[in-house]
Amino acid sequence: MAKIAFIGLGNMGGPMAANLVKGQHQVTAFDLSASALDTAVEKGAKKAASAAEAVKGAEIVVTMLPAGKHVRAVYENDVLPNAAKGTLLIDCSTIDVDSARHVGELASKAGLEMVDAPVSGGVGGATAGTLTFMVGGTDGAFAKAQPVLEKMGKNIVHTGAPGSGQAAKICNNMILGITMIGVAEGFLLGKRLGLDVQKLFNIVSTSSGSCWAVNNYLPLPGPVPTSPANRDYQAGFTADNMLKDLKLAQQAAQTSGASTPMGAEAAQLFNMFVNAGGGAKDFSGIIKMLEGK
């Protein structure tokens, strides 16, 4: 059993922290949102008054925050000044590679080991403890992080050097952003052609159009009861966060010289959806914009 500080208890961090509690770890939690913190306490975590307080005395610090600027601020102000020597730092947020490397360097200067360990699998995977973790860091840091990550996920991949977990994550999410738009277009076309949504789902989910966006996150209500489409596109994974990831992918494509025309198009469409007020909705809600509603 380890003493773990968990900072950021939103859609993903909340259920991930609950799985660490279930895995017999002692979790001290903090979030700026009082309701997110209360939910974590109901699931067995101990409440901290601040991120700094959570970090004091912890052997492992897990962060699950929205973006690079939040991770930089929490590391600079709370984590690094308060973490004892030997503390392992695990950042599970999806952030830009530069911020991941920056906080990694600060950690190393402070004599602390760190891994970037972003996840895939959505809120369903976070709740079930079946997430995929993409882990960047030294062999030693990975070996220490692995048993903790196994309490929250099922597929733990060491991607390589610090920052490489984030690189893998933005590739995955660019594919997801593109496929969600493709699935939405395919099902809207099907509706226009008079096809029954359930029957089209039965075909596509077992045919060559099958993908995660169809099988787990269908953007129309009905066939996949757990998909956000059944609850008015309540997130889930917000369109704001999807747009953030698509922009990160575009930035990385430019600096590396990779050709990603579909990724660029997906970023533009999600930008339109967010500008039209859809940012807090689940990203699958983009189907409403494509439908003209």
Q: Which residues are catalytic?
A: 169
Nearer to ligand NAD, 44 or 66 (CB): 66
User: Minimum CB separation from ligand NAD for residue 112, in Å?
Assistant: 19
Nearer to ligand NAD, 93 or 260 (CB): 93
Residue ranges that bind ligand NAD, judged by CB under 6 A? 7-13, 30-33, 36, 51, 64-66, 70, 74, 93-94, 119-120, 122-123, 236-237, 241
Nearer to ligand NAD, 65 or 148 (CB): 65
Nearer to ligand NAD, 120 or 260 (CB): 120
Helix (H, G, I), strand (E, B) or coil at 84: coil
User: Minimum CB separation from ligand NAD for residue 51, in Å?
Assistant: 5
User: d(Cα 121, Cα 125) in Å, to the nearest integer?
Assistant: 5
User: Minimum CB separation from ligand NAD for residue 16, in Å?
Assistant: 9
Type of residue numbered 115? V
- Which residues on neighbouring strands pair with residue 120, listed in sequence order? 132
* H helix intervals, the chain: 13-22, 34-42, 51-55, 68-74, 80-82, 97-109, 122-128, 139-149, 164-192, 197-204, 212-215, 239-256, 261-273, 286-291
User: Minimum CB separation from ligand NAD for residue 9, in Å?
Assistant: 6
CB atoms within 10 A of CB 251: 14
**By C-alpha distance, which of 119, 55, 53 is closest to 89?**
55
User: d(Cα 212, Cα 180) in Å, to the nearest integer?
Assistant: 9
Helices and strands of the chain, counted as H and E runs: 14, 9
Nearer to ligand NAD, 112 or 180 (CB): 180
User: Minimum CB separation from ligand NAD for residue 40, in Å?
Assistant: 10
Nearer to ligand NAD, 177 or 190 (CB): 177
User: Minimum CB separation from ligand NAD for residue 187, in Å?
Assistant: 21
Burial 202-222 (b: 16+ CB within 10 A, else e): eebbeeebebbbbbebbbbee
Q: How far is CA 60 from CA 8, 55, 169, 245, in A?
A: 14, 8, 22, 26
Residue holding tokens 């897990």?
A: 62
User: d(Cα 190, Cα 185) in Å, to the nearest integer?
Assistant: 9
